Amino acid sequence: RKGLGPLLACAKPHSGKSHYQDDFFHLRTGFPIYPLFLCLVKTVPKMTNPTVYFADRTLRFLAAAPAEAGCAVVDAREGISRDKILKILETHNSVAVVAADPVAAFAAFAAEFTRVEAAGGVVVDDAGAWLMMRRNGRWDLPKGHVEAGEDFEHCAAREIAEETGIRARVVRPLCETLHAYWFPPTSRWELKCTHWFELRSTGEGTPTPQCEEGIEQVVWYSPDEAAEHVREAFPTIRRVAEAMLR
C-alpha cells in the first residue's frame, strides 16, 4: 500500500473472504464511495487497445491521443504506475495512456498486481429470462474464485448455485474481464481474470440470495428488463451483456 497516499488512507475493504472477493475495494476520494474496479475485456494478447475500468471511470491504452475533451492523457514514455493512474482518476473520469505498443504498456501496468482466476455467468431459463442479482445496491451477475483443481466451467456453475440458489450448465463461453482490488488478508493488490459463460438453468433450485456476500435480491428478468437493469451495473457487467448478444 506504500505510496497510495490519501486514496488508501481512507479505504475500506468490502469483504475479507477471498473466495468471493469480486468484491471490491471502497474508496472515498472527494466523490462518493465506490468500488475500485478494473475491467479488461478479453485477454490482453487479443486486444489492440486495452480498456480498463475503475468503477465507472475509464483507463485506455492507445496508440494516439483521443479527441474527446476532459480525458487526461499520459505519455507512457514518461512512466506509468498504479499509484499515478489512481491519483489522476481522483479528478478525471477518463484517462488515456498513449504508447507505441499499447498492449505492452498495459502489461507493464498489470505487472503491479497479483493475478487470480474467477468465473461466472449469465443463466438463461427455458423462457429466455436472465438471472440477475442485486449486490451492495447495484445489479450484478454471479461469479467467484476458482478453487484448486477446478476448471472455469465448473467454477461458474458452482458459484452461481452458491450465490443464487440456481443450478445451471454451461452453454458457451462469452468473454473474459479483469478487475483489481486491494485484498486485506494478503495485503496485496490482486488482478482478477473472470471467465464468463452463458448457462442454461436445469430447473433445479429456488432464487435465494447469499446474504453474507452482500447479495440482496436474485430475480429472473426478461431480456428487455435485464437490459434496463444492466444500464445501472458496472461496465464489466455491461460488457458481459453485450457478449450475450453476439
Evaluate whether 46 touches 217 at the Cβ level (below 8 Å): no
pLDDT of residue 151: 97
Lowest mean pLDDT among 26-30, 108-112, 205-209: 26-30
- Using pLDDT thresholds of 50, 70 and 90, give the confidence band for residue 129: very high
pLDDT of residue 76: 97
Between 75 and 190, residue with greater pLDDT? 75
Evaluate whether 10 touches 28 at the Cβ level (below 8 Å): yes
Looking at every residue in the chain, the average pLDDT score rounds to 83
Q: Which residues pair with 178 in a beta bridge?
A: 193
**Residue labelled with grid coordinates 476520494:** 29
Residue 85: CB partners within 8 Å, gap ≥ 6? 59, 74, 95, 97, 109
- Using pLDDT thresholds of 50, 70 and 90, give the confidence band for residue 46: low
27: number of CA atoms within 13 Å, CB side? Answer: 21
As a whole number, mean pLDDT of residues 187-210 equals 93
As a whole number, mean pLDDT of residues 91-104 equals 94
| Secondary structure string (H, E, C) spanning the chain | CCCCCHHHHCCEECCCCHHHCCCCEEECCCCCCEEECCCCCCCHHHCCCCEEEECCEEEEEECCCCCCCCCEEEEHHHCCCHHHHHHHHCCCCEEEEECCCHHHHHHHHHCCCEEEEEEEEEEECCCCCEEEEEECCEEECCEEECCCCCCHHHHHHHHHHHHHCCCEEEEEEEEEEEEEEEEHHHCEEEEEEEEEEEEEECCCCCCCCCHHHCEEEEEEECHHHHHHHHCCCCHHHHHHHHHHCC
Say whether pLDDT at 190 is over 50: yes
Say whether pLDDT at 42 is over 70: no
Q: Which three cell numbers stand for residue 104?
A: 505492452
Q: For residue 133, which amino acid is it?
A: M
pLDDT of residue 38: 53
- Using pLDDT thresholds of 50, 70 and 90, give the confidence band for residue 98: very high
Positive or negative torsion for Cα 8, 117, 241, 228:
negative
Percent of the chain's residues with pLDDT above 90: 63
How would you classify the pairing of strands 168-183 and 188-201? Answer: antiparallel
